[in-house]
Structure 1
Amino acid sequence: MPGTTADLLAQTVVAVREAGSALRERFGGVVRHRTRDELMAALAANDEAALAVLRPHLTDLRPGARWVEDELAGGALPDGEWWVVDPAEGNVNHLHGLPDWAVTATLVRDNRPVFTAVHLPLTGETHTALAGGGAHVDGRPLRVSGTASLGLGLVATSQARPDEDEAVVRRVGSSITAMLRDALVVRTSVPATLHLLDVAAGRVDAFWQFAGARADLLPGALLVTEAGGRVSDAEGRPWTPASDSFLAAAPGVHAEAVTTLSR
Structure 2
Amino acid sequence: RSLSFSVKPSRPAPRPPSSNQRKNTGPLQLQPSIQEQRAEEGREDLAQSGSASPCSILLTRIGEVERDLEAYGKTRAELSVMLEEQQDELVRAEALENLDFCDSNIESLSMELQELREMTLLSSQTPSLETSSSATESPEQRMLEKRSKVIEELLQTERDYIRDLEMCVEKIMVPLQQAQMQNIDFEGLFGNIHMVISFSKQLLSTLEASDAIGMNSAATSSQLGGMSFRSGGAEQHSLNGRRVSLG
Work out which of the two has the higher radius of gyration on C-alpha atoms and give 1 or 2.
2
TM-score (norm 1): 0.19
Q: As a proportion of its length, which structure holds more strand?
A: 1
